[in-house]
């Protein structure tokens, strides 16, 4: 290492930075393909017993989000059983 002289550490930092950026791009692609950016996912922690704790509008959103996610889950299970 002493034969390399000064300035070689910048290349390690550059390689590390590029590696991190590539990992971020792959992570974002995976998240987009696996429906990880759904804002309504937060409603799935609630159920019908939480109606008195929620606004009527939020409760409707919760029911719609739950119905949508259950349909998507069934669709994925059907695809998995066929494949």
Q: Is residue 50 part of a domain?
A: yes
Which residue segment(s) compose the domain that 67 sits in?
41-83
- Mean pLDDT in the chain? 89
Domains identified in the chain, total number: 1
Q: Is residue 30 part of a domain?
A: no
Q: Is residue 51 part of a domain?
A: yes
Q: Is residue 11 part of a domain?
A: no
Residue 80 pLDDT > 80: yes
Q: Is residue 56 part of a domain?
A: yes
- Of 22 and 80, the one with more pLDDT: 22
Chain segment 26-53, per-residue pLDDT in tens: 999 999 998 888 888 888 888 888 889 9
Q: Is residue 33 part of a domain?
A: no
Residue showing tokens 């029911």: 63
pTM passes above 0.75: no
Q: Is residue 75 part of a domain?
A: yes
Sequence-distant (≥ 6) Cβ neighbours of residue 35 within 8 angstroms: 72
Indicate the pLDDT class of residue 2, thresholds 50, 70 and 90: low
Residue 44 CA to residue 22 CA, distance in Å, equals 32
């Amino acid at each position: 290492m002493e034969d390399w002289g000064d300035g070689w550490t910048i290349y390690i930092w550059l390689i590390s930075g590029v590696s991190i950026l590539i990992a971020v791009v792959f992570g974002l692609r995976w998240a987009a393909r696996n429906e990880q950016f759904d804002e309504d996912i937060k409603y799935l922690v609630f159920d019908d017993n939480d109606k008195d704790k929620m606004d009527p509008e939020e409760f409707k959103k919760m029911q719609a989000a739950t119905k949508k996610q259950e349909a998507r889950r069934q669709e994925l299970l059907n695809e998995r059983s066929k494949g």
